[in-house]
Amino acid sequence: MHTEQNPTKYRMYLNYDNDRKVYVFPRLPDKIKVTSKGKTASVDIDRFGEVLHKGKRDAITISFSSFFPAQYGQSYCACMEKEFKSPKKWNAWILKMQAANKPCHFVLAGSPLSLNMYADIISYSATEEGGDVGTISYTLELKEHRKPTVSTHGKKGKGKKARKTTTGKRASNESKKKAYTIKKGDCLWNIAKKYYGKGIQYTKILNANRATLDKAAKRYGYSGCRDGNLIFPGTKITIP
């Protein structure tokens, strides 16, 4: 059996929703510029010779330019063919990430200088040139997303040290699940249409709640929910 091989040891991702939505960059940039604490370092993809300094620093800014090819080619693509997405989809994805209310997850893997952080897209420009119709050239700039940390100090009493607490958690872009109680007359198709705008996406709800729906059906004497065709009022489910 033929197994598709990854064409390069370096891979770059722009993911969302706790990496449930994975986008592998089809073409690695020739150079990535990493800026931290007022110092700028130019990093060659083929020769990762520089590393970021340790200790306190400002948020990292990453910028690079490359292109989304119109056709897949193993000689120049850094993703597998099954992971390849069209320039149109990539352009729409980045615009969606730029407008999202949570940060995206940027990853550069396979190198001594690994980049793995939640980031916000602060600049994106894309062009399509006549000599290569369908291919989109772009420049992208991301900034490390950090949640603010706030320190609070309690009153210092006799023989007691001032208490210091911090707030602020590691950044996350996981979508929150919604709770829903099935009502009389409901069907998964209509519930999916209400939350997703398309009834055909009812399978997402079914797959996330199959055990719960089967359990409810068994209470009424059935062997299971029959792929979501048997649902009962009062059953509490989650909308992923």
Q: Are residues 69 and 112 in the same domain?
A: yes
- Domain assignment of residue 64, yes or no: yes
Q: Are residues 29 and 135 in the same domain?
A: yes
Torsion of CA 137, 141, 147, 151, to 10 degrees: 180
pLDDT at residue 94 tops 80: yes
Count how many domains the chain has: 2
pLDDT at 100 over 70: yes
22 CA to centre of own chain: 6
Domain that holds residue 201: 178-239
CATH of residue 135: 2.40.30
The pLDDT value recorded for residue 1 is: 38
Q: Tell me, what DSSP letter sits at residue 199?
A: G
Q: Which residues of 161-171 are buried (b: 16+ CB within 10 A; e: fewer)?
A: eeeeeeeeeeb
Are 232 and 185 part of one and the same domain?
yes
Note the pLDDT tens digit of each residue in 201-238: 899 899 889 999 999 999 989 999 998 999 999 999 99
Residue 140 shares a structural domain with residue 66: yes
Are 139 and 67 found together in one domain? yes
What does the DSSP assignment read for 152-195?
Answer: EE----TT-PPPEEEE------PPPPEEEE--TT--HHHHHHHH
Q: Encode pLDDT of 30-88 as tens digits.
A: 998 888 765 555 555 554 444 444 445 678 899 999 999 999 998 889 999 999 999 99
For residue 197, being part of any structural domain is answered with yes
- Same domain? For 233 and 134 the reply is no
CATH code for the domain of 204: 3.10.350
For residue 197, pLDDT beyond 70: yes
CB count within 10 Å of CB 74 equals 14
Asked whether the predicted pLDDT for residue 164 surpasses 70, the reply is no
pLDDT tens digits, residue range 4-31? 565 667 899 999 998 889 999 999 999 9
